[in-house]
Amino acid sequence: MLLEEIPVRQVKGVGASKEEELHAFGIHTVADLLDYFPFRYEDYRLRSLKEIKDGDKATVQGTIRGNPMLQRYGRNKSRLTSKIEVDGMLITAVWFNRPFLKDQIVPGRDIVLTGKWEQSRLQMTVSESEFADRETRSAKSGTLQPVYSVGGSITQTWIRKTIRQALEQYGALIRELLPEEIVERRRLIPRREAVERLHLPGDTSAGAAARRRMAYEELFLFQLKLQAYRSLNRDRADGVAHPIEAETIRKFAATLPFELTEAQKKVINEIVYDMRQPYAMNRLLQGDVGSGKTVVAAIALVGAVKAGRQGALMVPTEILAEQHYRSLQKLFAGTGIEVGLLTGSLPERKRREVLAGLQMGMIDVVVGTHALIQDEVFFRSLGLVVTDEQHRFGVNQRSVLRRKGLNPDVLTMTATPIPRTLAITAFGDMDVSTLRERPHGRLPIKTYWVKHSAMDRVYGFIRKEVSEGRQAYVICPLIEESDKLDVQNAIDVHVQIQQAFPDLKVGLLHGRLGAAEKEAVMGSFGANESQVLVATTVVEVGVDVPNATLIVIMDAERFGLSQLHQLRGRVGRGAYQSYCVLVADPKSEAGRERMNVMTETDDGFEVARRDLDLRGPGDFFGTKQSGVPEFKVADMVADYELLEQAREDAADLTGREDFWSSPAYEGVRAVLGKDHILQGEQLD
């Protein structure tokens, strides 16, 4: 019998009401229950006071030396204290609202305390305690205890007991999922042993081996889906084979007002090679802010159009859509390529014209927002889909645009750099191209961190840049004043800047403005009619004003590293030296570290690496939208080496003919869901 076929109600102690509550946690079978792993562990192992840092939660054992003192205050509130000798030192133990313990706290009696340690006061605020008599010690004393996500009447005690019961009843049925050759090569412990140890960890070394085994399994199964999908689709000649001539690309590149970098030329060759193939291209183009991704995309679009197809460029905001639209119009001037714009705020008459132009093939390239994936949008012959800032779109949104054509080529762009090897591993179903080289003539951006008390100096810096004919951004976290957050807001800062510079025109840009208002504000700033632009993070992506050389970011500690780097990328887009000033008074060590990283480097890949170190991969990869799963055990960054190994093993297996037919791989093929892959469906 398979664990996947046994209802969870078969576990002793699971009644009808508990079964229903378990269903809400996604637990329907015994397999689900045993795969419901703890997200952390409570450490009840005894420690000495020398090991414990201030503020740590820890467990210690000592001897009661003082008579208990009970103070009552308020309604049903009390504070019980006693002196305890631990490791030859007298500390104060404090219990809140447990007056019944007073009679049990007898001098000379040994006691085990678990709680928060306050070094400066030699005090422990006790959350749990028990007396050290062997007969009364609890099962968790001296152990690591699993902590699960629980709620309702499902308590930690109940879920621990129930999972132990399930292991006792059905542990022998836990089967191995991984091929034996991989278990041996990667020196992994058996699955049954790993599952038992994760729920009943014992000492840390045993738990570490169990975690490594299950983390590898999660990463391997994830990679197996990606590699199988990639392998099978590479064998299909049902994509768009664009007959792109090298001369077409060379002629267009010669019309550009700048010289392509070597990195751009290399990436263009990779993309054009893919577009010529009969299978559908699926390529990720990542590059630092200002590295020239848009030009690369434009050349790919030229290739598609000159080969007789249409192209679409989907971006997350209307400001960015309008900017790309204008940029492509300039780049395609004289080529005969017709560019259209489709956004939610487009007037109805103009919208109908664009829709008709796409369907009839009169528009060669369309730039748009989510409006591109609406039902009434039809293309005559869509051959290339370019998605900018891919992490801002859900998997389904991107796939809807793909379905507007017959397996069109897909180029996905992101300005959130990921270390290349990690990107190749994480996005296993995509080829990865990387732009690291700055366009010719671009200077590194100088970044400074100042406190709010130095705003007079910041104003002086703004005045200096404007007096030299340059322009400045001032970025704020909020639009209006908030009682909850003590941060600068765009409307107040706009007033302050106007008062500080009465002779200058100061613009204001935020998300609540209508599309026409946003365009007017940006148009004024782009034409240098306004010298300072106060804005929220709507300028984070894509806004390109080469004359802007200074960006001041207020309350910079409120932003993540990736967002700070994106904002910094709004300057340094011309030939002039540019600057970024971070105004921040961070209270936390993490906040100070972000400021230090920003002042130490303007390399987006180094910022990305430090960002991963500081906050992990979740937001970085856009987990909830990008298709990268939230693993139960594995961590994309901490388990990077395992991820690389899993990718190698998955790529090796799916590339072998016997994998698809041999009984030795039947179990893992069942987990893979082979039929869905063979039908060419996108795997989540």
Give the tens place of pLDDT for each residue, 95-130.
999 999 999 999 999 999 999 999 999 999 999 898
H/E element, 481: none
Residues in the chain: 684
Widest distance between CA atoms in the chain? 94
Q: Which of 620, 649, 672 is nearest to 216 (CA)?
A: 649
Q: Which residues contact 139 (CB under 8 A, 6 or more apart)?
A: none
Please tell me the predicted confidence (pLDDT) of residue 423. Answer: 65
What is the second-level CATH architecture of the domain 45-142?
A: Beta Barrel (2.40)
Q: What is the mean pLDDT of residues 228-241?
A: 71
What is the C-alpha radius of gyration for the chain, rounded to an integer number of angstroms? Answer: 31
CA dihedral for 245, 246, 249, 254, sign (positive or negative): negative
Does residue 87 carry a pLDDT above 80?
A: yes
- Chain centroid to Cα 505, Å, comes to 38
* Token reading at 162: 């129930």
Give the tens place of pLDDT for each residue, 289-303.
778 898 999 999 999
The whole-angstrom separation of Cα 137 and Cα 143 is 12
* Token reading at 141: 């004393």
Q: Three-state DSSP class for 562?
A: helix
The whole-angstrom separation of Cα 533 and Cα 472 is 6
What is the second-level CATH architecture of the domain 246-276+292-414?
A: 3-Layer(aba) Sandwich (3.40)
Please tell me the predicted confidence (pLDDT) of residue 626. Answer: 42
Does residue 674 carry a pLDDT above 50?
A: no
More confident residue, 159 or 482: 159
Cα atoms found within 13 Å of the Cα of residue 402, Cβ hemisphere only? 20
Q: Find the range with the poorest average confidence among 82-86, 323-327, 640-644, 674-678.
A: 674-678
By the 8 A CB rule, do 38 and 198 touch? yes
Q: What is the mean pLDDT of residues 2-11?
A: 93
Please tell me the predicted confidence (pLDDT) of residue 270. Answer: 94
Residue extent(s) of CATH 2.40.50.140 domains in the chain: 45-142
The whole-angstrom separation of Cα 669 and Cα 654 is 10
* Token reading at 222: 């994830």
Dump the DSSP string for 30-83.
Answer: HHHHHT---SEEEE-SB--GGGPPTT-EEEEEEEE-S--EEEEETTTEEEEEEE
| Banded model confidence at residue 390, pLDDT cuts 50, 70, 90 | low
| Banded model confidence at residue 510, pLDDT cuts 50, 70, 90 | confident
DSSP H stretches of helix in 468-514: 490-500
Does residue 623 carry a pLDDT above 50?
A: no
Does residue 280 carry a pLDDT above 90?
A: no
Please tell me the predicted confidence (pLDDT) of residue 114. Answer: 93
In terms of average pLDDT, the best of 222-231, 249-258, 473-482 is: 249-258
**46 exposed, middle or buried (CB, 10 Å; 0-12, 13-18, 19+)?**
middle
More confident residue, 481 or 385: 385
| Banded model confidence at residue 664, pLDDT cuts 50, 70, 90 | confident
By the 8 A CB rule, do 9 and 165 touch? no
| Banded model confidence at residue 678, pLDDT cuts 50, 70, 90 | very low
CB atoms within 10 A of CB 552: 26
| Banded model confidence at residue 329, pLDDT cuts 50, 70, 90 | very high
* Token reading at 291: 């590295």
By the 8 A CB rule, do 239 and 278 touch? yes
By the 8 A CB rule, do 327 and 544 touch? yes
Q: Three-state DSSP class for 402?
A: helix
Q: What is the mean pLDDT of residues 530-552?
A: 84
Q: Find the range with the poorest average confidence among 167-181, 201-215, 426-440, 621-635.
A: 621-635
| Banded model confidence at residue 679, pLDDT cuts 50, 70, 90 | very low
Give φ, ψ of 633 to 5 degrees.
-120, -45
Q: Three-state DSSP class for 400?
A: helix
Give the global pTM: 0.61
Q: Find the range with the poorest average confidence among 76-85, 545-554, 622-631.
A: 622-631
pLDDT cut 90: percent of the chain above it: 51
Residue extent(s) of CATH 3.40.50.300 domains in the chain: 246-276+292-414, 446-601
More confident residue, 477 or 92: 92
Please tell me the predicted confidence (pLDDT) of residue 433. Answer: 86
For 238-257, letters b (16+ CB in 10 Å) and e give: ebbebebeeebbeebbeeee
Distances (CA, A) of 655 to 177, 229, 421, 648: 19, 11, 20, 11
Does residue 483 carry a pLDDT above 80?
A: no
Does residue 682 carry a pLDDT above 60?
A: no
What is the second-level CATH architecture of the domain 446-601?
A: 3-Layer(aba) Sandwich (3.40)
Q: What is the mean pLDDT of residues 253-270?
A: 92
Q: Which of 287, 315, 277, 265 is nearest to 409 (CA)?
A: 277
Please tell me the predicted confidence (pLDDT) of residue 67. Answer: 94
By the 8 A CB rule, do 310 and 383 touch? yes
